[in-house]
Structures are given as C-alpha cells and as structure tokens.
C-alpha cells in the first residue's frame, strides 16, 4: 500500500487485514479474535450507535493496540516505526493526524451543547407532567 494515499482508520484496518490475508485468507471468518483489529476487519464500525462493550476500542485505538503488539509493547518503537508502507502507519500513535484538532473540539462542544439542551427539554417536560 502507498502510505501517501490517505485512508480512513477503518479503511486502513481493512487494508491491513487484506495484507494479512496471505496468512489468514478468510478475513470474515478470521479466528484471531485477540487481534485488536478483529472487530473492524470488514472495514465497518460495528459499534456505531450501539452499546459499546466494556473492552471497547475505537478504530484508531485498535490500531494503536495492534502497533504496540507489533513492537512488543514498546511505544517508543511504535513512534520510530519506519514501515511507512504499512496500512496502519499514519494512525500508529493512536491519533488521527488528518483531523484538525480545533475542528474536532468544536464538534465535541456542539454535541455537548445539543445533549445538554435535550436533557433540559426532557427535565422541563417531566416538571410539567408532575405539576
Ligand atoms: S483481524 Fe488481525 S489476524 Fe484477522 S485478518 Fe485482520 S489483521 Fe489478520
Ligand atoms: S505501523 Fe509499524 S508498528 Fe504499526 S503495525 Fe505497521 S509496522 Fe507495526
């Protein structure tokens, strides 16, 4: 894979699984459930808008865990990794370098605001019903 091609974290995981397919030809039936990438091996976010399990990891965090496994737990080795052709390379530090931090902060604030006003609305409905 050409690392210059920007792929989303899910697409990068999918690519990594396709690269791994020489060892594990049936990605859908991959039995390596301990592989951090396993939940996302089909390139889909299976937890999107669903209850998350206790051991939930986002796709980027799953990539980070995979990179740590790859480097025997050494975060400095992950940082120094020079395998730029690896599909996971851009995300190896557990962050998405293609997301503008200010933009994601704005999104977080907007979501929080929407959530708070929804809960305020719910509270005022309860107050009206109780009175
Ligand atoms: S989930 Fe892990 S072991 Fe399975 S195909 Fe993907 S990279 Fe390979
Ligand atoms: S990006 Fe580097 S550390 Fe991560 S899986 Fe690929 S080769 Fe290993």
Interval 41-100: pLDDT, tens: 999 999 988 889 999 999 999 999 999 999 999 999 999 999 999 999 999 999 999 988
Which pTM value belongs to this model? Answer: 0.79
| Same domain for 91 and 112 | no
Q: From CA 50, how far away is CA 71, in angstroms rounded?
A: 32
| Same domain for 66 and 16 | yes
| Same domain for 106 and 90 | no
DSSP state, residue 57: -
Q: From CA 38, how far away is CA 54, in angstroms rounded?
A: 16
| Same domain for 105 and 92 | no
- Taking every pair of Cα atoms in the chain, the longest distance, rounded to a whole number of angstroms, is 67
Higher-pLDDT residue of 101 and 77 is: 77
Is residue 21 domain-resident?
yes
Q: Is the CB of 90 under 6 A from ligand 2?
A: no
| Same domain for 113 and 62 | no
pLDDT at site 102: 85
| Same domain for 37 and 15 | yes
Is residue 2 domain-resident?
no
Report the domain count for the chain. 2
| Same domain for 109 and 91 | no
Say if residue 127's pLDDT is above 80.
no
Q: Do 72 and 51 touch, CB atoms closer than 8 A?
A: no
Q: Which atom of ligand 1 is nearest to the CA of 23?
A: 8
Q: Which residues' Cβ are closer than 6 Å to ligand 1?
A: 16-17, 20, 24, 27, 30, 32, 35, 37-38, 41
Q: From CA 90, how far away is CA 104, in angstroms rounded?
A: 18
Q: Atom 4, ligand 1: which residue's CA is nearest? A: 30
Decide: helix, strand or coil at residue 2: coil
Q: From CA 95, how far away is CA 85, in angstroms rounded?
A: 18
Higher-pLDDT residue of 28 and 104 is: 28
Q: Read off the pLDDT of each residue in 93-112 and give the average, rounded to a whole number.
A: 87
For residue 118, give both structure tokens: 């929804």
| Same domain for 84 and 36 | yes
Q: Kindly indicate the confidence band of residue 3, based on its pLDDT and cuts at 50, 70 and 90.
A: very low
The ligand minimizing its distance to the Cα of 15 is 1
| Same domain for 15 and 79 | yes
Is residue 4 domain-resident?
no
Q: Do 89 and 81 touch, CB atoms closer than 8 A?
A: yes
Residue 8: partners with Cβ closer than 8 Å, 6 or more residues away: none
Q: Atom 4, ligand 2: which residue's CA is nearest? A: 67
Say if residue 24's pLDDT is above 70.
no
pLDDT at site 131: 64
User: What is the domain range of residue 49?
Assistant: 9-96
| Same domain for 107 and 72 | no
Percentage of residues in the chain having pLDDT higher than 90: 56
| Same domain for 91 and 78 | yes
């Amino acid at each position: 894979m050409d690392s210059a091609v920007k792929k989303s974290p899910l697409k990068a995981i999918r690519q990594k699984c396709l690269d791994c397919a020489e060892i594990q030809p049936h990605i859908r039936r991959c039995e390596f459930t301990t592989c951090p990438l396993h939940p996302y091996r089909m390139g889909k976010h299976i937890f999107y808008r669903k209850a998350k399990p206790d051991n939930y990891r986002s796709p980027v965090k799953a990539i980070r865990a995979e990179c740590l496994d790859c480097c025997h737990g050494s975060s400095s080795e992950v940082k120094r990794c020079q395998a730029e052709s690896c599909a996971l390379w851009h995300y190896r530090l557990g962050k998405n370098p293609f997301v503008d931090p200010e933009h994601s902060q704005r999104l977080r604030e907007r979501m929080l605001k929407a959530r708070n006003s929804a809960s305020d609305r719910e509270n005022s409905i309860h107050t009206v019903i109780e009175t």
